[in-house]
Structure 1
């Protein structure tokens, strides 16, 4: 016996065709994240840096993160050559810095305040970051047009009071604004169920009496 197929959940069709690669950019843009600037020091003591939102934790012990960076970027080549990197997580007022380091401008470090503390993996964007991590590259895996760079973190510094810059659907958002909107009210607990009425106890004839026991209806 044949069975009628069940309708599938409503999904907006994509643009991929048979044999064509799917475009995952709409998918990833719908996954909001923080914004960082990855920095390092290239040969000749030249600072390098690029904006990055593809960052994730890998392990707590050893403390490791992964950065997914465009392989052709000069910053990636400098990171792999030096073996050291700094991850600057931008605060919510640092959108101009994010745009600057995403633009490829040659003078980006001349237009941004930065420092290179002793033992730093790369320039620290002290005025633009709410948290900065220094680390050592432990592994790099090139896949397609990007390279996954695994970094073992050696130290982390945070600026108390600064909140993160967010990015998703090709737009920026401030953490303060995003968290200021109250969430939906909590659902009220269901009312307690009414107790069932008590039933009268049956009356049974005493033991030893003649006839069948009678039960009062």
Structure 2
């Protein structure tokens, strides 16, 4: 198989099961910084060295390059929401997150399967990433099962899988796809996804909200807020107002809540972006969703 196809290569690399980590440090101005990474690996026992890699386009690159230290948290099986939170680009990842300064100054979390605090020893060029090698200064273990990532999704009995497992019908399949799509938000950073988002005048966060409403069958703002909170995503009125101004959604006034109505443009965007940037299995779920839409539309016009 040709290595010139980045999507196929990414899929092949995803067959290797890994743990999931959050790597943290402090920025030059004293702000906590953290990213989700599954590139963590042991290098040497004597001296004790580990490595991980960070995209050259990452917002946090300067902080990790200049701080001289970092902490690696191997996440537990029930920390998929925290993984999703730190996988997103942007600021405010530490809002509502319990942390303190560790031995070297990097932010450390109270829950983890294993935590390593490291001094940065080397930074190497690695194609579209930089490879960071750290010397382990201290580490700690907790007797908790780790979060595992395989074939583009979390493995094991995580909260997402418990939510996704329902009756074997089209709606259950569609809901399972939605939960996976929201959990695997790193796909929004792929070049094709970025172009598609730009074509439809959407940010990654706006797309996630639209996908939850459409494919998750969410009807109201309060239900959307609850769903996003459970999955580790945070949104505010600014995102909703942006979608209204772009005419992607309408809000209908109700006595106790506001109903969300998607525009036809928004529905087309959701299906187009999702179908072009997800796995073959997920695309099959999308075709089921589209078939359901056509069936409903035909019944309405019958």
Q: TM-score, normalised by structure 1?
A: 0.67
Query: Unaligned regions of 5+ residues in structure 2, if any?
Result: 159-302
Alignment map for 1:1-217 (pairs within 5 Å): 14=1, 16=2, 20=4, 23-117=8-102, 119-127=103-111, 129-159=112-142, 161-174=143-156
Do the aligned residues in 1 keep the contact of 2:41 with 2:52 (CA within 8 Å)?
A: yes
1:74, CA displacement in angstroms?
2.5
1:75, CA displacement in angstroms?
2.2
Q: TM-score, normalised by structure 2?
A: 0.49
Greater helix content? 2
Task: Report what 1:207 is aligned to.
Answer: none
Give me the whole-angstrom Cα distance separating, in 2, the residues matched to 1:44 and 1:88. 23
**1:89-147 CA distance string (max 9 Å, x none):** 10000000000000124221013111113x235111213x2211111111111122101
Task: Report what 2:185 is aligned to.
Answer: none
Give me the whole-angstrom Cα distance separating, in 1, the residues matched to 2:118 and 2:135. 5
Give me the whole-angstrom Cα distance separating, in 1, the residues matched to 2:101 and 2:113. 16
Tell me: higher relative CO, structure 1 or 2? Use CA pairs within 8 A at least 6 residues apart: 1
Do the aligned residues in 2 keep the contact of 1:40 with 1:75 (CA within 8 Å)?
A: no
Classify the secondary structure of the residue corresponding to 2:100.
coil
Do the aligned residues in 1 keep the contact of 2:50 with 2:133 (CA within 8 Å)?
A: yes
Do the aligned residues in 1 keep the contact of 2:59 with 2:89 (CA within 8 Å)?
A: no
Do the aligned residues in 2 keep the contact of 1:121 with 1:135 (CA within 8 Å)?
A: no
Give me the whole-angstrom Cα distance separating, in 1, the residues matched to 2:90 and 2:55. 16
Classify the secondary structure of the residue corresponding to 1:141.
strand
Do the aligned residues in 2 keep the contact of 1:84 with 1:122 (CA within 8 Å)?
A: yes
**1:176-195 CA distance string (max 9 Å, x none):** 9xxxxxxxxxxxxxxxxxxx
- Alpha-carbon spacing, 1:83–1:175, altered in 2? closer, same or farther (3 Å): farther
Classify the secondary structure of the residue corresponding to 1:110.
coil
Do the aligned residues in 1 keep the contact of 2:69 with 2:106 (CA within 8 Å)?
A: yes
**1:13-60 CA distance string (max 9 Å, x none):** x3x38xx46552112110010000010001111010000001111110
**1:186-217 CA distance string (max 9 Å, x none):** xxxxxxxxxxxxxxxxxxxxxxxxxxxxxxxx
Structure 1 segments of 4 or more deviating over 6 A?
A: none
Query: Unaligned regions of 5+ residues in structure 1, if any?
Result: 1-13, 177-217
Give me the whole-angstrom Cα distance separating, in 2, the residues matched to 1:175 and 1:126. 22
Classify the secondary structure of the residue corresponding to 1:172.
strand
Do the aligned residues in 2 keep the contact of 1:40 with 1:49 (CA within 8 Å)?
A: yes
